[in-house]
Structure 1
Protein backbone atom coordinates (compact mmCIF):
# COMPACT_ATOMS: atom_id res chain seq x y z
CA UNK A 1 0.00 0.00 0.00
CA UNK A 2 2.87 2.36 0.76
CA UNK A 3 4.30 1.88 -2.74
CA UNK A 4 0.92 2.59 -4.36
CA UNK A 5 0.57 5.72 -2.21
CA UNK A 6 4.04 6.92 -3.22
CA UNK A 7 3.53 6.29 -6.94
CA UNK A 8 0.07 7.85 -7.16
CA UNK A 9 1.09 10.82 -5.03
CA UNK A 10 4.19 11.50 -7.14
CA UNK A 11 2.02 11.37 -10.29
CA UNK A 12 -0.42 13.80 -8.67
CA UNK A 13 2.40 16.13 -7.65
CA UNK A 14 3.92 16.15 -11.15
CA UNK A 15 0.54 16.65 -12.83
CA UNK A 16 -0.46 19.54 -10.58
CA UNK A 17 2.95 21.20 -10.71
CA UNK A 18 2.80 20.98 -14.50
CA UNK A 19 -0.66 22.48 -14.83
CA UNK A 20 0.21 25.17 -12.26
CA UNK A 21 3.21 26.11 -14.41
CA UNK A 22 0.93 26.24 -17.46
CA UNK A 23 -1.43 28.54 -15.56
CA UNK A 24 1.43 30.87 -14.60
CA UNK A 25 2.78 30.83 -18.16
CA UNK A 26 -0.72 31.50 -19.51
CA UNK A 27 -0.35 28.66 -21.97
CA UNK A 28 -2.65 28.91 -24.96
CA UNK A 29 -4.65 25.82 -24.04
CA UNK A 30 -5.17 27.19 -20.53
CA UNK A 31 -6.43 30.52 -21.88
CA UNK A 32 -8.76 28.80 -24.34
CA UNK A 33 -10.15 26.40 -21.75
CA UNK A 34 -10.64 29.05 -19.07
CA UNK A 35 -12.41 31.34 -21.55
CA UNK A 36 -14.69 28.47 -22.57
CA UNK A 37 -15.78 27.79 -18.99
CA UNK A 38 -16.06 31.47 -18.06
CA UNK A 39 -13.00 31.79 -15.82
CA UNK A 40 -11.48 35.29 -16.03
CA UNK A 41 -7.81 35.50 -17.01
CA UNK A 42 -7.14 37.45 -13.83
CA UNK A 43 -7.90 34.29 -11.84
CA UNK A 44 -5.18 32.20 -13.50
CA UNK A 45 -2.34 33.13 -11.13
CA UNK A 46 -4.56 32.36 -8.14
CA UNK A 47 -5.69 29.04 -9.59
CA UNK A 48 -2.08 28.18 -10.44
CA UNK A 49 -1.05 29.05 -6.89
CA UNK A 50 -3.71 26.73 -5.46
CA UNK A 51 -2.59 23.86 -7.68
CA UNK A 52 1.04 24.56 -6.85
CA UNK A 53 0.28 24.71 -3.12
CA UNK A 54 -1.52 21.39 -3.44
CA UNK A 55 1.51 19.84 -5.13
CA UNK A 56 3.87 21.19 -2.45
CA UNK A 57 1.55 19.99 0.32
CA UNK A 58 1.43 16.52 -1.20
CA UNK A 59 5.21 16.47 -1.40
CA UNK A 60 5.55 17.47 2.24
CA UNK A 61 3.00 14.81 3.14
CA UNK A 62 4.96 12.24 1.17
CA UNK A 63 8.09 13.25 3.07
CA UNK A 64 6.44 12.53 6.41
CA UNK A 65 4.03 15.29 7.46
CA UNK A 66 0.94 13.14 6.92
CA UNK A 67 -1.71 15.68 8.07
CA UNK A 68 -0.44 18.25 5.56
CA UNK A 69 -0.50 15.69 2.77
CA UNK A 70 -4.08 14.76 3.64
CA UNK A 71 -5.08 18.43 3.77
CA UNK A 72 -3.43 19.10 0.40
CA UNK A 73 -5.13 16.10 -1.21
CA UNK A 74 -8.48 17.21 0.24
CA UNK A 75 -7.94 20.72 -1.12
CA UNK A 76 -7.13 19.37 -4.57
CA UNK A 77 -10.22 17.14 -4.53
CA UNK A 78 -12.39 20.16 -3.70
CA UNK A 79 -10.61 22.31 -6.29
CA UNK A 80 -11.16 19.82 -9.10
CA UNK A 81 -14.75 19.16 -8.09
CA UNK A 82 -15.18 22.90 -8.65
CA UNK A 83 -13.47 22.61 -12.04
CA UNK A 84 -15.76 19.77 -13.10
CA UNK A 85 -18.79 21.75 -11.91
CA UNK A 86 -17.62 24.76 -13.94
CA UNK A 87 -17.38 22.59 -17.06
CA UNK A 88 -20.81 21.06 -16.50
CA UNK A 89 -22.38 24.44 -15.72
CA UNK A 90 -21.13 25.85 -19.03
CA UNK A 91 -21.82 22.58 -20.87
CA UNK A 92 -18.18 22.32 -21.97
CA UNK A 93 -17.73 18.56 -22.13
CA UNK A 94 -15.01 18.46 -24.79
CA UNK A 95 -12.27 19.52 -22.35
CA UNK A 96 -13.67 17.96 -19.18
CA UNK A 97 -11.30 14.99 -19.40
CA UNK A 98 -8.52 17.16 -17.89
CA UNK A 99 -10.32 18.18 -14.68
CA UNK A 100 -11.77 14.68 -14.29
CA UNK A 101 -8.29 13.18 -14.62
CA UNK A 102 -6.81 15.58 -12.06
CA UNK A 103 -9.77 14.89 -9.78
CA UNK A 104 -9.16 11.16 -10.09
CA UNK A 105 -5.50 11.57 -9.15
CA UNK A 106 -6.39 13.77 -6.18
CA UNK A 107 -9.04 11.33 -4.95
CA UNK A 108 -6.64 8.40 -5.31
CA UNK A 109 -3.93 10.32 -3.41
CA UNK A 110 -6.38 11.19 -0.65
CA UNK A 111 -7.73 7.65 -0.28
CA UNK A 112 -4.25 6.13 -0.25
CA UNK A 113 -3.02 8.75 2.25
CA UNK A 114 -5.91 7.95 4.55
CA UNK A 115 -5.30 4.19 4.26
CA UNK A 116 -1.57 4.51 4.83
Structure 2
Protein backbone atom coordinates (compact mmCIF):
# COMPACT_ATOMS: atom_id res chain seq x y z
CA UNK A 1 0.00 0.00 0.00
CA UNK A 2 1.30 3.45 -0.83
CA UNK A 3 2.28 5.80 1.98
CA UNK A 4 -0.23 8.43 0.95
CA UNK A 5 -3.09 5.93 1.26
CA UNK A 6 -1.86 4.77 4.68
CA UNK A 7 -1.58 8.40 5.76
CA UNK A 8 -5.09 9.25 4.57
CA UNK A 9 -6.53 6.22 6.33
CA UNK A 10 -4.68 7.19 9.52
CA UNK A 11 -6.17 10.70 9.37
CA UNK A 12 -9.68 9.35 8.80
CA UNK A 13 -9.27 6.90 11.69
CA UNK A 14 -8.19 9.71 14.02
CA UNK A 15 -11.24 11.74 13.05
CA UNK A 16 -13.58 8.77 13.61
CA UNK A 17 -12.10 7.89 17.01
CA UNK A 18 -12.37 11.49 18.21
CA UNK A 19 -16.12 10.83 18.57
CA UNK A 20 -16.96 13.96 16.59
CA UNK A 21 -19.31 12.74 13.83
CA UNK A 22 -19.30 16.00 11.87
CA UNK A 23 -15.50 16.19 11.96
CA UNK A 24 -15.27 12.59 10.76
CA UNK A 25 -17.62 13.33 7.85
CA UNK A 26 -15.60 16.41 6.95
CA UNK A 27 -12.37 14.41 6.97
CA UNK A 28 -13.91 11.69 4.80
CA UNK A 29 -14.99 14.29 2.22
CA UNK A 30 -11.58 15.94 2.36
CA UNK A 31 -9.89 12.57 1.93
CA UNK A 32 -11.94 11.84 -1.19
CA UNK A 33 -10.97 15.21 -2.67
CA UNK A 34 -7.32 14.73 -1.78
CA UNK A 35 -7.28 11.32 -3.46
CA UNK A 36 -8.74 12.88 -6.61
CA UNK A 37 -6.34 15.82 -6.49
CA UNK A 38 -3.27 13.61 -6.02
CA UNK A 39 -4.38 11.23 -8.77
CA UNK A 40 -5.18 13.96 -11.29
CA UNK A 41 -1.82 15.64 -10.72
CA UNK A 42 0.06 12.33 -10.44
CA UNK A 43 1.84 13.45 -7.28
CA UNK A 44 4.76 11.35 -6.11
CA UNK A 45 5.07 10.72 -2.38
CA UNK A 46 7.99 8.29 -2.53
CA UNK A 47 10.47 10.88 -1.22
CA UNK A 48 8.15 11.84 1.64
CA UNK A 49 7.66 8.33 3.02
CA UNK A 50 9.94 8.74 6.05
CA UNK A 51 8.63 12.22 6.88
CA UNK A 52 5.00 11.07 6.74
CA UNK A 53 5.73 7.99 8.85
CA UNK A 54 7.61 10.05 11.45
CA UNK A 55 4.89 12.70 11.63
CA UNK A 56 2.08 10.19 11.99
CA UNK A 57 4.04 8.32 14.66
CA UNK A 58 4.66 11.54 16.60
CA UNK A 59 0.97 12.49 16.49
CA UNK A 60 -0.03 8.98 17.59
CA UNK A 61 2.52 9.01 20.44
CA UNK A 62 1.26 12.37 21.70
CA UNK A 63 -2.32 11.06 21.67
CA UNK A 64 -1.29 7.85 23.40
CA UNK A 65 0.39 9.99 26.08
CA UNK A 66 -2.85 12.01 26.44
CA UNK A 67 -1.10 15.21 25.34
CA UNK A 68 -3.77 16.78 23.18
CA UNK A 69 -1.98 20.11 22.89
CA UNK A 70 1.17 18.47 21.56
CA UNK A 71 -0.84 16.27 19.19
CA UNK A 72 -2.61 19.37 17.83
CA UNK A 73 0.71 21.21 17.44
CA UNK A 74 2.28 18.25 15.62
CA UNK A 75 -0.82 17.93 13.42
CA UNK A 76 -0.54 21.60 12.36
CA UNK A 77 3.16 21.16 11.54
CA UNK A 78 2.33 18.03 9.52
CA UNK A 79 -0.45 19.72 7.54
CA UNK A 80 1.65 22.81 6.82
CA UNK A 81 4.52 20.64 5.55
CA UNK A 82 2.13 18.58 3.48
CA UNK A 83 0.64 21.64 1.82
CA UNK A 84 4.13 22.98 0.98
CA UNK A 85 5.10 19.56 -0.39
CA UNK A 86 2.01 19.36 -2.61
CA UNK A 87 2.40 22.92 -3.90
CA UNK A 88 6.05 22.26 -4.74
CA UNK A 89 4.97 19.34 -6.95
CA UNK A 90 2.50 21.37 -9.00
CA UNK A 91 3.64 21.97 -12.57
CA UNK A 92 4.08 25.71 -12.95
CA UNK A 93 3.12 26.09 -16.59
CA UNK A 94 0.51 23.37 -17.01
CA UNK A 95 -1.90 24.22 -14.21
CA UNK A 96 -5.18 25.82 -15.23
CA UNK A 97 -5.92 28.99 -13.23
CA UNK A 98 -9.05 27.49 -11.69
CA UNK A 99 -7.66 24.01 -10.98
CA UNK A 100 -7.69 24.45 -7.20
CA UNK A 101 -11.31 25.56 -7.17
CA UNK A 102 -12.31 22.84 -9.63
CA UNK A 103 -10.73 20.08 -7.56
CA UNK A 104 -11.35 21.36 -4.06
CA UNK A 105 -14.64 23.18 -4.56
CA UNK A 106 -15.50 26.58 -3.27
CA UNK A 107 -15.43 26.98 0.51
CA UNK A 108 -18.90 27.14 1.98
CA UNK A 109 -19.40 28.76 5.35
CA UNK A 110 -21.88 27.25 7.75
CA UNK A 111 -23.95 29.66 9.80
CA UNK A 112 -21.70 29.15 12.83
CA UNK A 113 -18.61 29.91 10.72
CA UNK A 114 -20.13 33.05 9.21
CA UNK A 115 -20.91 34.48 12.67
CA UNK A 116 -17.29 34.02 13.75
CA UNK A 117 -15.76 35.33 10.54
CA UNK A 118 -13.85 38.57 10.88
CA UNK A 119 -13.19 39.24 7.21
TM-score (norm 1): 0.38
Instruction: Give the structure, 1 or 2, with the largest relative contact order (CA under 8 Å, sep 6 or more).
Output: 1
Higher helix share: 1
Kindly name which structure, 1 or 2, has the bigger radius of gyration based on alpha carbons: 2
Q: TM-score, normalised by structure 2?
A: 0.38
